[in-house]
């Protein structure tokens, strides 16, 4: 009897526990999180078609427009001048850059000039007796003849008799020999053809210089040229004299240049054409890496936007009543960061910045113009 009673009590406890747990479970209310719809805020701009200047980017290194490679045409010892012939030394136009010892050669020139003077002096008595009409001008020549200065031009011969007489005495031959020696004597002194700076120095004072030996390089630091390669598609659009904006990578300053030459042939390997841009600025240095923006043409009825806004299939997003939609456009030119588009209706509201995860029909909140300006 006792076992029966205990079994009945255990069964009642189990049944009571089951219904009690169910009642407790049913009394609890289920919590479901409320899903909030997120509407992204976007920046927009209103399309206004107009003329877009297409600029062709190009780059290259600056090279001095006026450059002289200094070579010795004579042999001798390099003499010390007023300035050391070193890299970075500046010279003014006409100032001696290099002096080569010419004392021995100068003595030979003086000897030849003296011989010419003696030859002319020896014919003066004959001129006085046989050609008194031409005697005065030759006498004037002798009076102005100075061995320490350049030989003056011979008197003009006005008759065949005079010319035969002078040639017969060997005076013309001696005169041109002297002038040739004088010209060679000038080669012992190399002067600056323009204001500039020495960029390469290969000899020092006291060095024996040989004919044909390279001595260094001299450049003009006032004018530089930038050689750039431009696609042949724009070769017909570029013109000599057009203004070009130049900029250096390590500087925010812009420089004004102009197109001075355009190569007449196209590089067969790269299908590009060489364009040369001249620029003047005291801050520039040879070898600087510069970027140029060449004005190729004006595209009418077009706009320019960020390249990231152009989608695959030549489409862009527009905002219609706070909802995104896609329209077809026609790209006409791509640059590194922007794209020029046509066939975008005036007044269309387009995205000003890319929106992550954007899709057609997406609801957006357009940022007011004044807030957009503050954010920028």
> What distance in Å separates the CA atoms of residue 295 and residue 54, rounded to the nearest whole number?
6
Determine the pLDDT at residue 56.
Answer: 79
The verdict on residue 345 lying in a domain is yes
The verdict on residue 277 lying in a domain is yes
The verdict on residue 350 lying in a domain is yes
Determine the pLDDT at residue 375.
Answer: 47
At residue 109 the predicted structure's pLDDT band, cuts being 50, 70 and 90, is: very high
1 vs 291, which has greater pLDDT?
A: 291
Mean pLDDT calculated for residue range 308-323: 89
At residue 376 the predicted structure's pLDDT band, cuts being 50, 70 and 90, is: very low
- Tokens found for residue 283: 């801050």
> What distance in Å separates the CA atoms of residue 182 and residue 56, rounded to the nearest whole number?
54
56 vs 25, which has greater pLDDT?
A: 56
CATH number of the domain enclosing 355: 2.40.420.20
Across 5-36, b (16+ Cβ under 10 Å) vs e yields eeeeeeeeeeeeeeeeeeeeeeeeeeeeeeee
- Considering the domain architecture, whether residues 170 and 285 belong to the same structural domain is answered as no
- Residue 98 pairs with which residues in a beta bridge? 190
Report percent pLDDT > 90 for the chain: 43
How many domains does the chain divide into?
Answer: 4
Q: Which domain holds residue 211?
A: 68-97+192-219
Mean pLDDT calculated for residue range 138-165: 90
CATH number of the domain enclosing 210: 2.40.50.100
Vertex 114: Cα angle to 109 and 118 (nearest 5): 150
For the chain, the distance separating the N- and C-terminal CA atoms, rounded to the nearest angstrom, is: 91
Query: Which contacts qualify for 232-239: CB closer than 8 Å, 24 or more apart?
Result: 232/266, 232/271, 232/272, 232/273, 234/56, 234/294, 234/296, 234/297, 235/262, 235/266, 235/273, 237/296, 237/297, 238/262, 238/275, 238/294, 238/296
Determine the pLDDT at residue 34.
Answer: 55
> What distance in Å separates the CA atoms of residue 232 and residue 270, rounded to the nearest whole number?
9
Ranking 22-31, 92-101, 250-259, 261-270 by mean pLDDT, the lowest is: 22-31
- Considering the domain architecture, whether residues 212 and 237 belong to the same structural domain is answered as no
142 vs 20, which has greater pLDDT?
A: 142
Distance of alpha carbon 250 from its chain centroid, rounded?
14
pLDDT in tens, 112-128: 999 999 999 999 999 88
The verdict on residue 6 lying in a domain is no
Mean pLDDT calculated for residue range 319-332: 89
The verdict on residue 148 lying in a domain is yes
Q: State which of 299, 317, 340 marks the end of a domain.
A: 299
Determine the pLDDT at residue 368.
Answer: 59
Determine the pLDDT at residue 7.
Answer: 75
Determine the pLDDT at residue 373.
Answer: 46
| pLDDT reading at 336 higher than 90 | no
- Considering the domain architecture, whether residues 250 and 365 belong to the same structural domain is answered as no
- Considering the domain architecture, whether residues 85 and 212 belong to the same structural domain is answered as yes
CA-CA distances (angstroms) from residue 355 to 32, 82, 194, 276, 330?
31, 69, 59, 42, 21
| pLDDT reading at 148 higher than 60 | yes
Report percent pLDDT > 70 for the chain: 92
| pLDDT reading at 26 higher than 90 | no
- Residue 331 pairs with which residues in a beta bridge? 341
Sign of CA dihedral 228, 234, 235, 241: negative
Q: How high does pLDDT run on average in the chain? A: 86
Mean pLDDT calculated for residue range 332-339: 82
At residue 374 the predicted structure's pLDDT band, cuts being 50, 70 and 90, is: very low
Burial class (CB in 10 A: 0-12, 13-18, 19+), 343: middle
- Considering the domain architecture, whether residues 213 and 78 belong to the same structural domain is answered as yes
pLDDT in tens, 270-303: 888 899 999 998 889 999 999 888 777 778 889 9
Give, to the nearest 10 degrees, the angle between helix 171-186 and helix 160-168: 70
pLDDT in tens, 235-256: 777 788 888 889 887 777 889 9
- Considering the domain architecture, whether residues 93 and 210 belong to the same structural domain is answered as yes
| pLDDT reading at 142 higher than 60 | yes
pLDDT in tens, 183-221: 999 999 999 999 999 999 999 989 999 999 999 999 999
- Tokens found for residue 281: 């600025």
The verdict on residue 14 lying in a domain is no
- Tokens found for residue 237: 């659009």
Q: Tell how strand 40-42 and strand 364-366 pair up.
A: parallel
- Considering the domain architecture, whether residues 210 and 231 belong to the same structural domain is answered as no
Q: Tell how strand 315-320 and strand 67-71 pair up.
A: unpaired
CA-CA distances (angstroms) from residue 235 to 227, 256, 271, 272, 342?
14, 21, 11, 8, 23
pLDDT in tens, 38-50: 678 888 899 999 8
The verdict on residue 27 lying in a domain is no
Residues composing the chain: 376
List the one residue out of 243, 253, 245 whose CA is nearest residue 282: 253
CATH number of the domain enclosing 235: 2.40.30.170
- Considering the domain architecture, whether residues 72 and 212 belong to the same structural domain is answered as yes
- Considering the domain architecture, whether residues 268 and 310 belong to the same structural domain is answered as no
- Considering the domain architecture, whether residues 181 and 197 belong to the same structural domain is answered as no
- Considering the domain architecture, whether residues 262 and 286 belong to the same structural domain is answered as yes
| pLDDT reading at 372 higher than 50 | no
| pLDDT reading at 98 higher than 60 | yes
User: CB of 51 within 8 A of CB of 342?
Assistant: no
pTM exceeding the 0.95 threshold for the entire prediction: no
| pLDDT reading at 369 higher than 70 | no
Determine the pLDDT at residue 81.
Answer: 82
The verdict on residue 205 lying in a domain is yes
- Considering the domain architecture, whether residues 120 and 258 belong to the same structural domain is answered as no
User: CB of 57 within 8 A of CB of 226?
Assistant: no
């Amino acid at each position: 009897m006792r076992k029966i009673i205990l079994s009945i009590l255990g069964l009642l406890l189990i049944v009571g526990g089951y219904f009690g747990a169910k009642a407790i479970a049913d009394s609890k209310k289920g919590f479901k999180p409320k899903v909030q719809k997120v509407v992204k805020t976007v920046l927009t701009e209103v399309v206004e078609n107009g003329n877009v200047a297409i600029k062709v980017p190009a780059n290259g290194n600056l090279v001095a427009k006026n450059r002289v490679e200094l070579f010795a045409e004579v042999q001798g010892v390099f003499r010390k001048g007023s300035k050391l012939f070193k890299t970075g030394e500046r010279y003014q136009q006409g100032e001696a850059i290099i002096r080569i010892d010419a004392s021995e050669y100068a003595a030979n020139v003086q000897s030849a000039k003296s011989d010419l003077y003696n030859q002319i002096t020896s014919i003066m008595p004959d001129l006085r007796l046989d050609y008194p009409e031409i005697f005065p001008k030759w006498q004037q020549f002798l009076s102005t003849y100075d061995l320490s200065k350049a030989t003056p031009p011979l008197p003009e011969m006005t008759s065949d008799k005079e010319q035969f007489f002078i040639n017969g005495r060997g005076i013309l031959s001696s005169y041109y020999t002297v002038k040739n020696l004088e010209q060679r004597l000038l080669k012992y002194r190399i002067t600056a053809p323009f204001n500039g700076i020495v960029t390469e120095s290969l000899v020092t004072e006291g060095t024996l210089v040989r004919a044909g030996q390279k001595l260094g390089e001299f450049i003009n630091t006032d004018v530089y040229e930038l050689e750039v390669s431009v696609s042949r598609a724009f070769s017909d659009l570029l013109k000599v004299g057009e203004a070009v904006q130049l900029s250096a990578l390590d500087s925010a300053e812009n420089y004004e240049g102009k197109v001075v030459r355009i190569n007449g042939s196209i590089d067969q390997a790269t299908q590009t054409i060489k364009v040369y841009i001249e620029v003047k600025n005291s801050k520039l240095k040879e070898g600087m890496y510069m970027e140029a923006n060449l004005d190729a043409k004006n595209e009418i009825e077009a706009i320019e936007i960020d390249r990231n806004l152009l989608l695959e299939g030549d489409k862009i997003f527009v905002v219609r009543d706070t909802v995104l939609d896609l329209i077809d456009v026609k790209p006409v030119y791509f640059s590194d960061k922007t794209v020029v588009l046509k066939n975008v209706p005036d007044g269309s509201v387009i995205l000003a910045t890319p929106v992550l995860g954007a899709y057609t029909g997406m609801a957006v909140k357009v940022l007011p113009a004044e807030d957009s300006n503050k954010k920028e």
